[in-house]
Amino acid sequence: MTEFSLALNEDQIQIRDWVHEFAKDVVRPNAEEWDEREEFPWPIVEEAAKIGLYSIDFMSNAIMNDSTGLTLPIALEELFWGDAGIGLAIFGSGLAAAGIMGNATPEQIIEWVPQCYGTADKVQLGAFCVSEPDAGSDVSSLRTRAVYDEAKDEWVLNGTKAWITNGGIADIHVVVAAVDPELKGRGQASFVVPPNTPGLSMGQKYKKHGIRASHTAEVVLDDVRVPGHCLLGGKEKLDEKLARAREALAKPAKESSGKQPAMATFEATRPAVGAQAIGIARAAYEYALQYAGERHAFGKPIIKNQSIAFMLADMATEIDAARLLVWRAAWLARNGTYVNAEGSMSKLKAGRVAVWATERAIQILGGYGYVREYPVERFHRDAKIYDIFEGTEQIQQLVIARAISGLRIE
């Protein structure tokens, strides 16, 4: 086990500075344009691929070769400090990759994860498709069905997925579907839908409040047929899991939520999502700090007023507190196991801090904070998603409450 330490090693310092340069020189100057266009920023993602930031190599290096667990959160904070919409365009495929890694066999990982990224010359995207119009927080109620056609050794997928990052424009869609709906979450499985599979199409593309450079759309699955080997983890493992779940269903109810494929992925990725939120909060804080030193009112810089300076002091403190929770969770995820839902704690805190700190930044800028000429109103719009996706604020509270109480809090 690697000791938990706040001192970054040389590799981490190098990666942090490298991502920061890209965020400062490439991402930030383009942030406003792509936010206004509300389109996927292909040229920026391609540039990220050219320098190796958008790549399977970077992801495996940041995750596998890092025994501290901190490298990925550090890199994400820097990138999202540049811009969250573009940041998510660059890191959105990571969720699909995590969905594969969490459930697949080693052969499936080798086959599908690189295809979520493609190459520097041919960039590809991944999408992780769980949420549905009637099942967002309640992932145990998915209606998308997966039916096995034994004669052809194929799975047939039908349903509609909602709010999917990279949905319909991705090359690899990882779809979570109900194999046995009666078993709720324990009757679900994850499937890879390979590029250009007939029957998969993009439904509506959403117009969003924030992170507008990131593409979010419905994914429609209409008799989508995928080969048997696209079932992540394999048929044998699924049959065993279903048999165990059916046996448990026949017994008197015990207080167990059961392991769901989607939930396992989300719990593992929560510190990384928290780090993204911290990047936005830090951007807002730094902007407000500088502005408060330059803006004069009543003959002096506004920072000379305690009410402004104390707001900044609180922002700095809260951002550091959130980062510490994220780093602890990232380290625990790599080196041990969560005890009291520390992944959820980190995401809950970081999301709240991002929303609060970006709102305070608007307050410090006054009228200039409220208009699009200055970036803080965009920071605030971008921050709000961190209370919603990958488990809402209330769902994080639910996970934490259950962990600390050992009870099935409703």
Ligand X SMILES: Cc1cc2nc3c(=O)[nH]c(=O)nc-3n(C[C@H](O)[C@H](O)[C@H](O)COP(=O)(O)OP(=O)(O)OC[C@H]3O[C@@H](n4cnc5c(N)ncnc54)[C@H](O)[C@@H]3O)c2cc1C
Report the residue number whose CB is nearest to ligand X. Answer: 136
Distance CA 278, CA 98 (A): 21
Q: What is the CA 291 to chain-centroid distance, rounded?
A: 31
Which runs of E-coded beta strand occur in 199-258? 200-205, 216-227
CB of 167 to ligand X, least distance (A): 7
Q: How near is the Cβ of 283 to ligand X at its closest, in Å?
A: 19
Of 18 and 356, the one with the shorter C-beta distance to ligand X is 356
- CA 77 centroid distance within chain: 13
Q: How far is the CB of 150 from ligand X (least distance, A)?
A: 29
User: Residues interacting with ligand X, by CB under 6 A?
Assistant: 95, 128-131, 136-138, 163-165, 208, 216, 385, 388-389, 392, 394-395, 398
Q: Could you give the CA distance from residue 74 to residue 67 in angstroms, rounded to a whole number? A: 14
Q: Using the minimum distance from each CB to ligand X, give the nearer residue, 131 or 188.
A: 131
| Residues 350, 343: Cα–Cα separation, whole Å | 11
DSSP state of 327: H
Q: What residues contact residue 324 under an 8 Å CB cut-off, 6+ apart?
A: none
Shortest Cβ 379–ligand X spacing (Å): 16
**Which C-beta is closer to ligand X: that of 363 or that of 397?**
397
> Which residue, chain included where needed, has tokens 């605030």?
380
Helices (H), 336-374: 342-365, 367-370
Look at the block and give the residue holding tokens 């295809």.
115
Q: By C-beta, is 168 or 187 nearer to ligand X?
A: 168
In order, the DSSP letters of 264-309 are HHHHHHHHHHHHHHHHHHHHHHHHHHHHHHH-EETTEEGGGSHHHH
Please identify, using beta-carbon distances, which residue of 334 and 347 lies nearer to ligand X: 347
Q: How far is the CB of 367 from ligand X (least distance, A)?
A: 28
What is the nearest approach in angstroms of ligand X to the Cβ of residue 148? 23
CA dihedral 138, 141, 144, 146 (to 10 degrees): 120
Rank residues 73 and 167 by Cβ distance to ligand X and give the closer one.
Answer: 167
Q: Are strands 126-129 and 172-178 parallel, antiparallel or unpaired?
A: parallel
Q: Which is nearer to ligand X, 94 or 369 (CB)?
A: 94
Q: What residues form DSSP beta bridges with 205?
A: 217
The nearest distance, CB 404 to ligand X, in angstroms, is: 16
The catalytic residue positions are 390
**Cα angle at 212 between 211 and 217, to 5 degrees?**
100
Q: What is the dihedral of CA 175, 176, 178, 182, to 10 degrees?
A: -170
Distance CA 80, CA 82 (A): 5
Amino acid type, 404: I
DSSP string, 65-85: T-TTS-HHHHHHHHHHHH-HH
